[in-house]
Amino acid sequence: MLSSAYTFELNQAVLHSLATISYFDGIHPTLACGITGGKVLIHTPHIPNSSNNFLNINKNIICLDGGRLDPSLNRDVLVIGSPSSLMAYDIDSNSDLFHTETKEGVTSLTLGSLSISGRDTPLALVGGNCSVKGFNKLGEEEFWTVSGDDVSAIGFFRTERNEKRLLVGGTDYAIRIFNNEELETEIMENAKITGFAEMDKGKFAYTLDNGGIGIYKGKHRAWKAKAKNKVLSIVSGDVTGDGVPDMILGWSNGKLEVRSENKGENIFKKSLKQTIAKVFYTDYRMQGKNQVIACTVAGRVLGYIKEDIPHKEQNAEAQQEDIEDLMRVKQILLNELQHYKDAAARSGSSILAPGTSLLVTLAPSPPRIFLSTSNSSLIKCAFVLGEGFFEGDSKFVHPARPSSELQIPIQNPKHLGLEVDIKALVCASAGASQLQVMERSIKIPKFCNFEYGDCKLPSGYVNFDFPQGNRLLNWLQDRFILNPSAIKPSAELQVSFLGESENLSFILTTNKLSIYTETLELAAEIAQDLISFFNIPELESRADYPHEIEKINGLMEKVEEYSNVRTQLSINMAENAQNVKALIVKAEDSRIQRNMGFFKQAMASLHQFNGELLSEFQIRTNNHNELLSYLKQVNQYIQRAGNLRYGQAKTRTIASFREAVKTKNMKMIAAAIISGGKAS
């Protein structure tokens, strides 16, 4: 389907994912790649007699992207993220647009536009420590929202109503969909999110750090696949020409793939034998037709173009593939039929009795899956598949001796609500040679780690109006392991659960629900789950968590302390750097004047200052890491306070909490948690 169009060498090793093709002069496509030594290679094939140019950043490059940041320039700019700063560079005019420090670090980057104050504004969107920031053409922060953990991927897609949404993937395995600063949907995956690509009709593709790929339509997964290797780059493009975007994937083992959006079928596959750093779908040759382009870490760039195959040949090729698929299915069915014939010819004592079935239930304290057979048949072993639920996504249980009952312990610390598939080998007797695979599935409650029972009320609580009180029991039975007769339906009730690290209580009165927990984190998670289950459009709440507010006060003091130390260290390093420059000039003057005594003295002082600079740099690095750790915890508290509410109340809470952090107003922080910043 695709044929090789061109291959060329950059003669430089390219860092993973650090490449972009942009129009830096507004006319010609240019390839910019991050290479070792804090440099960016600029490849400009359309300018006569041009060679590779290099841009010295002199910092560790974490991410880079190109695009329109200043519409008045009519050309793309290059934006580069380093561990603690962001810079925008206009390659055409060889000048900086801005250079700004980012306290919360830089872990991911993409250029795009969002609606700011009712106008579409181009922004450099930077993912960092539990937050996403948007910087305009002047380097000013115009957008900010909180995320649950470090941001590992940022992207965009459009809904079926053609409304733009922001995609944020994190190291906490969550995909978050934002409508500007407001979180609309949170989807849990089973590994760190590494990339996004916009597809068609409200769909987006995603990749995971464990080799997983898939497509979501809104918040519902269309399909998912997994491989042993990792996808390092993903883009979308209509490679087949059928009007529907396809997935273009670059793998860590050097495989270049094009997959269909429908079910992920392979359309094109090529092994390049070199790890792929980045893939593109653009017209790099300026011939009016896009190419599938792969840039490898070794610096080789390969372009592939669609072949124009006659319609008859395409049909013949498709028919041949269909025949091969049918032949494979036929062989599988023949093998299965022969297996049943062989089983029927054997002794009947080893065959299961008619009507034998596998029964699956859940049991508490400790939480476990309970398997049993409907008669005296025995369970030899069981295989349980639960994506993200078990290490390696699966668990195999093989008792020492077959039994009619089998218990499988489960743990759900991440509070995942999912369905697990169970496959058990069942036999008529311990020595039977014939085994039958029986398949069942069961839904694991989200809060199955909590056991129903009496406990002392936890010290913190959140309460809100809850007109859905008559349906609260439905939610409890769906989210916890409960005996159906344990709680009787009532307009007013009190229910408690015992947990490993903290207890949980619910008190329902007339149209009012109070949730008692020790931590803000659990309360926020419960509140968001209730909002999702009952489809609550707007939720105002009041909370009281004095211990959590004390912790936030301590965190703010630490942030202030480490920020002051960082400022002082920067001043000291700047002074030492000036001394080093002065000593270099003096040493060079002494060398020219052949004053070797003073030259040796200057070099000794230079060596001493260099050691001090290295030592201060290490101290500054440690200080920066500690500061990031405390900022991350503060951002997590901002998110938790917001998650106690929904809709406009949530937006107001996050804005109020963030303003309080900026102004170091502890009373305002407490008010944001207690009332969402709402004036009393």
- The model's pLDDT over 613-669, given as tens digits with 9 standing for 90+, comes to 888 888 888 888 898 889 889 999 999 999 999 989 998 999 899 899 888 899 999
pLDDT digits (tens, 9 = 90+) for 4-54: 999 999 999 999 999 999 999 999 999 999 999 999 999 998 887 777 899
**Rounded distance, CA 516 to CA 522, Å?**
9
Q: Is the pLDDT of residue 314 over 50?
A: no
**Rounded distance, CA 364 to CA 240, Å?**
52
Q: Give backbone dihedrals phi and psi of 360, rounded to 5 degrees, phi first.
A: -130, 125
pLDDT of residue 583: 85
Q: Is the pLDDT of residue 318 over 60?
A: no
Task: Give the contacts of 378 (CB within 8 A, at least 6 positions apart).
Answer: 402, 403, 404, 426, 427, 428, 429, 430
pLDDT of residue 477: 92
Residue 371 tokens read as: 């398997």
pLDDT digits (tens, 9 = 90+) for 418-453: 899 999 999 988 888 788 899 999 999 999 999 999
pTM of the complete model:
0.81
Q: Is the pLDDT of residue 63 over 50?
A: yes
Query: Would you list the domain boundaries of the chain?
Result: 358-444, 451-536, 546-675
**Rounded distance, CA 175 to CA 167, Å?**
7
| Sheet with strand 358-363: strands edge to edge | 358-363, 368-373, 405-409
Instruction: Tell me which CATH code domain 451-536 carries.
Output: 3.30.70
CATH classification number, 358-444, choose in 3.30.70, 2.40.100, 1.10.287, 2.60.40: 2.60.40
- The gap from C-alpha 56 to its chain's centroid, in whole angstroms, comes to 30
